[in-house]
Structure 1
Amino acid sequence: MNNTRRTLVVAVAAAAALATATTAGAQGQDYPSRPIKWIVPYLAGTAPDTTVRITGEALSRILGQPVVIENRGGVAGNIGAQLAAKAPADGYTWVYSGSPMATNMRMYRKPGFDVMKDFIHVGRITQSDSVIVVQSDSGITNVKELVEHLRKSPGKMAYASGGVGTPSHMGAELLLAATGTKALHVPYKGASESTNAVAGKQVDFAIALISPTLPHIQGGKLRPLAVLSPARNPRLDQVPTLAEAGVPGISLVSFGGLALPKGTPAPVVQEVRDALTKALATPEVREKLEANGAAVVPSTPEEFAQSLRAEIALTEKLMKVANIEAQ
């Protein structure tokens, strides 16, 4: 009797394993069979939104199904990330993941998700530089003059950011700490809004991703003072790095890519991974992404995950330097 029972248990387990493998294989073969939703945890018009729309269009053609972009901004990207983390792990919900989501692991006591545990990070898409901008008619023409204005009016000048914990917030606080100055922080819902705030003279300056600032710079409303990167940006090659402008030791680069909810079947993950690799190898896609001031930097899933871990560690270090407490 015992032998019979053991044989039955083994047979049932084998059948279950076969059914699981067969289902996973079928999911990979049939995927995708309907539209895919790609959550962008930021407002429309921001650099991540532009990146996703360009990449999503190419992925739609490759996968043969519409990739529908859904902007769910708020709380520095936490709201959209929370929604994605709770979505069904069937491959039909994606999320734009990147350095801000990693930063939020330290900037917020309760972000509502875990960037390393709740997602499968498929691969990086782009890497973007940030730039310090002021109003063109502000009378400030370089970083030295900005610092002089800040010192003359401690705490009276205001700067905009895309939200607490974003690279724009972190960068500004590091600049203030490095120069021994103070300014009022005015957080907005995203980089496009913070950039518009400077152009509209609601605040005095901002550190924002290059993408949303370019139209204002080219239109003559904003003046770029310096980029916060190791080297000059090709789209703003006449603008010095912050180190060249006299404030060394501050370099912030924002990056982003594609992630899926944890538990998504491996065949589906591989299908998405292959499609992303093909999309980013397309000259037309690369040209459009780079036209917005970003650098196309594809990666393996492992490399992308490691860059997120490194960002969490860097954020913890920078928060101490800039004396920023978790929200």
Structure 2
Amino acid sequence: MLVRSFKAFLSLLVVQLGAYAHAGQEWPTRPIKWIVPFTAGSAPDIGARVVGDALQGVLKQPIVIENRPGAGGNVGTAMVARAQPDGYTWLYSSSPTASNMKMYRTPGYSALKDFAHISLIGTSDCLLVVNGTTGPKSIEELVSLARQNPGKLSYASGGIGTPAHIAMELFLRAAHANALHVPYKGAGPSTVAVITKEVDFSYPTFGVALPEVQGGRLRALATSGAKRNRTLPSVPTLEELGYGDSALSTFGGLSVPAGTPTPVIVKIQQALDAVLAQPAVRAKLEERGSTFVGTSTSAEYTEMIRREIEHTQAMMQTLNIQPQ
């Protein structure tokens, strides 16, 4: 009886392993949904659309970008965490995927347990911007205005706890100035708020702000990178201006629900490696403000997310920010 039971177990195991491998061989057989947990026009949305368009040619299936913003990215991220781990639902993971683990008491997911983080796609700087017509013309002028009018200036971010929010609080702390934080649902709306003069300044990702700077609707006072961005070489870095602690580089990548079959993950990684090696794709991402474009191993990307969680906790303690 015991022998028969063991044989039955082995037979079932062989069938399951065969199906597991077969799934990887056949995948994908239908359209793939790529969830971007931020608004259309945000940096993650821009990146996903550029990369998704190229991936369609490699995987021979449509990549459908679906924006699911809300709660600083938690709504869409939690949706993917609960999705079937079959390779047909992806997450455009990014810095807030990690930082929200500390910024929110109940984000609705675990960044390190609920996902297989496949690869980095790229990193991007941010731009400290003001209104292109009426805003101050330098960081020094902005700081002076904030000091002369404590609490009367306001700044926008893409949401509470986003890297831009924390970086701006560090900037104001270093400048010995105060300003009211006004959170919006993404970098796009926070940028529009500066143009329409709802707020005085903002710190959106480079790609979101760049067209508005080039069109004169926004004025860039500083960039967050370690060195000047070649697209706007006349704009100084915050580090040059003495605010190095406010420097910020955001990242984005591709993640899937935990439990997704390894053969499927390998296929996704290979496809991503192929498209990010294409000069045309790299150029499109760099034109939109990416400072680094390239893939990583799953272990490297997972470690990047883990470090961002720890960094967020340290910054919250420094600024005495409480989780929402």
One-letter identity of the residue aligned with 1:296 = V
| Larger deviation, residues 182-191 vs 240-249 | 240-249
Aligned length: 323
Contact map agreement 2:129 2:219 (CA 8 A) in 1: yes
Instruction: For 2:167, give the aligned amino acid.
Output: G
- Partner Cα distance (1:31, 1:297) in 2: 24
Distance in 1 of aligned mates of 2:68 and 2:270: 26
Q: Please list the CA deviations of residues 88-135 of structure 1 after superposition, one character each: whole Å capped at 9, or x if unmatched.
A: 111100010121110000000000001110000010001000110011
Query: What letter corresponds to residue 263 of structure 2 in structure 1?
Result: P
Give RMSD over aligned pairs: 1.0
Equivalents in 2 of 1:165, 1:297: separation in Å? 26
Aligned mates of 1:155, 1:296 — CA distance in 2: 39
Partners of 2:245 and 2:111 lie apart in 1 by 27
Match of 1:236, SS state, is coil
Does 2:311 match 1:318?
no
Q: CA deviation at 1:137?
A: 2.5
* 1:286 corresponds to: 282
TM-score, reference length from structure 1: 0.97
In the alignment, the residues of structure 2 paired with residue 246 and residue 304 of structure 1 have an alpha-carbon distance, to the nearest angstrom, of 30
Identity %: 46
Which residue in 2 is equivalent to 1:162? 158
Partner SS for 1:38: strand
2:107 to 101, 111, 115: 111
Q: Which residue of 1 aligns with 2:44?
A: 48
1:16 to 2, 7, 12: 12
Structure 2 partner of 1:94: 90
Pair 1:303-2:300 in alignment: yes
Q: Distance in 2 between matches of 1:255 and 1:178?
A: 24
2:222 pairs with 1:207: no
Aligned to 1:257: 253
Q: Which amino acid aligns with 1:167?
A: P
Where do 1:54-203 residues align within 5 Å?
54-203=50-199
SS at match of 2:245: coil
The answer as to 2:212 corresponding to 1:216 is yes
1:240-281 CA-to-partner distances (Å, cap 9, x unmatched) read 110111223322110010001011111111111111111111
Partner Cα separation in structure 2 for residue 136 and residue 288 of structure 1:
25
Question: What TM-score does the superposition give when structure 2 sets the normalisation length?
Answer: 0.98
Q: Is the 8 A contact 2:224 2:249 kept in 1?
A: yes
Name the amino acid aligned to 2:298. Answer: P
Give, in angstroms, the shift of residue 140 of structure 1. Answer: 1.1
Residue 13 of structure 2 is aligned to residue 34 of structure 1: no
How far apart are residue 297 of structure 1 and its match? 3.0
CA contact (8 A) 2:277 2:294 kept: no
Determine helix, strand or coil for the equivalent of 2:75.
helix
